[in-house]
Amino acid sequence: MSNEKGSKINHLVGIILYIGIFTYFITSLVSLILHFSDLKVHGFILNLFALLFETLGPLYAVYFMIQLIDGILNVGEISYNIDKMTEFPKVTVIVPIHNVNPAVLRDTLLGFKNQDYPNFELWVGDDSTDVKLREECEKITKETGFIYFYRENDRFKAHMVNMILEQPQVKESKYVAFFDVDHIPEPNILKKFVAILEEHPEFVFVQGKFGFRNAKNYLHVWEAMSLTQMFASQNARRKTGNVLFCGSTACFRRDILKGLPEGTLTEDYDLTIRLASEGYRGYWLDEISSMSLVPENIGHQMSQLNRWMTGQAGALSDHVGKLFRSKMTFKQAIDFVVSSTVVLVATSFYFLGIFYALIYAFKIPIYRALGLDAFSLVIMPILTFIIYISTLTATTIYTAKSGTYPLRWWHVPFFLAFGGMTAPFLVFPVIKGLFRKNKIVPGKTKWNKQVPLIPLSIFFSLLGMVFIGLTTSSVLDFLSITNWYGYNYFFILFGVIGITLVFAFPFIVISKMMFKSQHYEEVMIYH
């Protein structure tokens, strides 16, 4: 069976699941309306919100299931040939840095010394505040034969890049490539980028896949597998024309690029939306293009995720008014909405648990479709679990094939466990972003700020104990030992939430003790 045929079957299954979920929602809504007199206003409202979260989670899960399966089917792949290249247009490579470990910079620049592309220049854009680090980085840059560019800058990465793009000799380049300081390039990656852009004028940029050279413990494995899951989605986005720029290991047509959006926390995501709204599209190169470092401790990782989630949700708020009125397709617009809010939906069962807790506490009956009523508390979690297992399976298959890092079977349960225990910490950043708290204030905003993990984890663990108590009460009702609510299945979701949250505090404490930085000091992380 061809990949295209497999993709069609994948989408057909998805459509059937969508129809089932929407049917459940509509018929359940009708059931709630018919029982309005029994529920009263407060009961109707609580049931309605619970119903929304019951269906929202599975809807998003189906979306990502389709996307990830398309990802492993490698849809939208094109051909290119670097051996047929006879012309080598100029490429400018920009590596922005701020208070970085000089050894990390040296490794990356030495990687570029091994490039087999004959016509490129590399600029190290430095706005470091640490004089000693700055001097060392300048020395390394000049020793390796590249261009060192220093400017004071309190507007972060995008402004530094834009200052370099305005330099006269950069304007002579046909292409501009971006690499983070820890991304050591593959020797022929510039050739591959240029070959694709020369042979395929329909693309304005190429985003390469990066591997992970320090995925050596369970925290690193979780980080690497999370990113690899996104890589599988990128494969599928080739078909919809919605490939995301990831901020590094990418190459653009300079005349289309113009510059990076300034004033936001995720300039790469904002740029992707801008280009898509103008009718442009990028290509995802599903080959290892560079080898990177994942954050080495839990504080660094959560700080980075905090910025990403706030920035992406904020980008949605900034652009939502024009998403469906621009040159992008309806599918592209939907993908941006889903991608920007995925964390809220990934944690929807927490919100669902809160509404179920209120329904349980106030002894409000549940009415659902086809007379399912309380039994929906069993059916919907099972459906969601099956869909999530499908997405996990697709992620595992892609990760095993991708070569980003050596996957072992025991990494998968740790990926699930780490993901479940970190998810609550990402709810607040997304909410902040939706309220447009993603803007950079020069001189005040921190690029990576420390997240108060200990206080937050204590709060989540205490909340978990509340849900453990609710689980116990619900089980006693189920067994007819007590009769607070009566026969019910609330304990299924209450138990999952309770177990997940109660371990938040020990998880953070143990992670802080176990996972230490090898390459970065705090001055290099939080600024």
Asked if 62 contacts 17 with a C-beta cutoff of 8 angstroms, the reply is yes
Q: How far apart are CA 309 and CA 448, in angstroms?
A: 12
Residue 120's SS3 state is strand
pLDDT band with cut points at 50, 70 and 90 for residue 16: very high
Reading the block at residue 85, the tokens are 């290249």
List pLDDT tens digits, range 290-345.
Answer: 999 988 889 988 998 999 888 898 888 888 888 888 888 889 999 999 988 887 77
Q: How far apart are CA 56 and CA 59, in angstroms?
A: 5
pLDDT the model gives residue 418: 86
Residue 148's SS3 state is strand
Please state, rounded to an integer, the average pLDDT across all residues of the chain: 90
List pLDDT tens digits, range 42-74.
Answer: 999 999 999 999 998 889 889 999 999 999 998
Q: Is 281 buried (19+), middle (13-18) or exposed (0-12) by CB count in 10 A? A: buried
Backbone angles phi, psi at 9, to 5 degrees: -65, -40
Quote the percentage of the chain above a pLDDT of 70: 98
SS (H, E, C) 422-473: HHHHHHHHHHHHHCCCCECCCCCCCCCCCCCHHHHHHHHHHHHHHHHHHHHH
Inform me whether the pLDDT recorded for 254 exceeds 90. yes
Q: Is 1 buried (19+), middle (13-18) or exposed (0-12) by CB count in 10 A? A: exposed
Mean pLDDT value across residues 241-251? 95
- Which is nearest to 253 in space by CA: 289, 200, 209? 200
| CATH of 82-341 given 3.40.50.11030, 3.90.870.10, 3.30.540.10, 3.90.550.10 | 3.90.550.10
Asked if 21 contacts 59 with a C-beta cutoff of 8 angstroms, the reply is yes
pLDDT band with cut points at 50, 70 and 90 for residue 525: low
pLDDT band with cut points at 50, 70 and 90 for residue 521: low
pLDDT the model gives residue 95: 97
What length does the chain have?
Answer: 527
> Which sequence spans correspond to the domains of the chain?
82-341
DSSP state of 484: S
